[in-house]
């Protein structure tokens, strides 16, 4: 296998590069690199650029060309492909279109979902382009195999259930009477009210919140659809009562004595609030734990359920889709309409109208 001078190369010493494969690094190291500098050894480069000719400053900026989560997925995907090629006695870089086609076929035969297969295909293509090599995933034979896989096993996403008010109320009521429960209430209500992704929730700092009696202004610095950090602000009104996110966030900040740094932090079993921010996975676990305490089907919920819950509840309550999209920040009404379909609003209206007697 030829040396890889692209997004998956590790530099042991200046000028010495070795390809990243599962022989060189554990799967845990691949998927859970140090959070403070995840991109230290990943140098994505534009086509036609020799990575070794880049200076330290250029390499540093290049390392931020893709989101860390994307590079983590690409890194793991590439390592698995390289390992498979090694076991099959095939070349991984450059890989032939036939090799890639056989690989994705093997993934499908072993039960991988279409979305997982497509992600690994993207990782292989990115590795080749970054190494200034022809992209084998663009070949017609690879496209044909991928199309056949999609048609045969389907490509419907595994959608988690939305956390609508019907489920949110009992989940809140089941929270423990502790400082962790105060934090979890703030997470659930703010995540629902602002339709936040779990990554956006845990990224919030105290400086991103402007709390007043009548409202809470939340600044989202960066998101899945805003990788360049343009940012946006969501104004949350104080609605009062058990569902008021403004009161819930204020109670958490006061109880945890947070005046700066991460908003949502770890709380140990003794009730001590730490300095480290929660991980995105922690949000999913909090949602599931709250649902489980309330006797709900927690297996169908995830960290995304709060965001989906807001969109679905807005559709059920007859909120204008344009107004709801101002909160969810969807750029496409087509994408947002999937939540409306899931809520069944249009179907209910159409069926009720069709069954209505004409003489009424």
Active site amino acids: 197, 224, 304, 307, 330, 339
How many helices (H) and strands (E) in the chain?
15, 7
Cα dihedral value 68, 72, 75, 78, nearest 10? -120
Q: Report CA 239 to chain centroid distance, whole Å.
A: 29
For 66, the token pair is: 């893709």
Contacts of residue 134, Cβ cutoff 8 Å, sequence gap at least 6: 94, 128
Q: Residue 194 to residues 33, 234, 249, 275, 308: CA-CA distances in angstroms?
A: 30, 7, 12, 24, 11
Q: Is 189 helix (H, G, I), strand (E, B) or coil?
A: helix
Rounded Cα–Cα distance for residues 24 and 286 (Å) = 35
User: From CA 75, how far away is CA 31, in angstroms rounded?
Assistant: 8
CA 337 to CA 181: how far, in whole Å? 34
132 Ramachandran zone, left/alpha/beta (phi>0; psi -120 to 50): left
Whether the CB-CB separation of 190 and 201 falls below 8 Å is answered with yes
Quote the Cα angle for 335-339-343, to 5°.
155
Residue 103 · residue 84 · CB < 8 Å: yes
C-alpha distances in Å from residue 355, one per residue of 344, 346, 351, 358: 16, 14, 6, 9
Quote the DSSP letter at residue 326. H
For the record, the structure tokens of 245 come out as 């996110």
How large is the C-alpha radius of gyration of the chain?
A: 24
């Amino acid at each position: 296998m030829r040396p890889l001078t692209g997004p998956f190369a590790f530099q042991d010493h200046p000028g010495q590069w070795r390809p990243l494969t599962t022989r060189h690094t554990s799967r845990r190291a691949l998927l859970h690199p140090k959070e403070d500098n995840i991109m230290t050894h990943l140098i994505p480069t534009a086509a036609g650029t020799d990575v070794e000719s880049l200076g330290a400053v250029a390499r540093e900026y290049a390392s931020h060309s893709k989101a860390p989560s994307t590079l983590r997925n690409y890194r793991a995907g590439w390592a698995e492909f390289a390992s498979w090629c090694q076991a099959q006695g095939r070349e991984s870089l450059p890989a032939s279109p036939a090799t890639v086609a056989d690989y994705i076929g093997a993934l499908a035969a072993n039960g991988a979902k279409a979305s997982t297969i497509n992600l690994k295909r993207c990782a292989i293509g990115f590795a080749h382009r970054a190494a200034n090599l022809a992209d084998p995933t663009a070949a017609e034979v690879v496209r044909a195999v991928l199309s056949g896989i999609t048609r045969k096993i389907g490509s419907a996403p595994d959608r988690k259930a939305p956390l609508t008010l019907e489920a949110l109320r009992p989940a809140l009521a089941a929270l423990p009477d502790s400082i962790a429960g105060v934090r979890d209430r703030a997470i659930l209500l703010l995540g629902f009210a602002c339709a936040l992704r779990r990554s956006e929730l845990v990224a919030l700092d105290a400086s991103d919140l402007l709390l007043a009696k009548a409202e809470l202004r939340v600044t989202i610095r960066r998101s899945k659809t805003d990788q360049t950090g343009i940012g946006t602000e969501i104004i949350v009104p104080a609605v009062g009562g058990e569902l008021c996110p403004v009161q819930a966030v204020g109670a958490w900040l006061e109880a945890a004595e947070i005046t700066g740094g991460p908003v949502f932090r770890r709380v140990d079993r003794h009730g001590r609030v730490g300095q480290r921010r929660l991980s995105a996975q922690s949000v999913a676990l909090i949602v599931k734990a709250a649902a489980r305490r309330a006797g709900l089907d927690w297996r169908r919920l995830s960290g995304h359920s709060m965001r989906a819950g807001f969109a679905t509840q807005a559709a059920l309550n007859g909120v204008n889709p344009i107004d709801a999209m101002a909160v969810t920040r969807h750029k496409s009404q087509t994408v947002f309409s999937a939540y409306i379909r899931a809520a069944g609003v249009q179907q209910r209206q159409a069926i009720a109208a069709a069954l209505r007697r004409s003489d009424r």
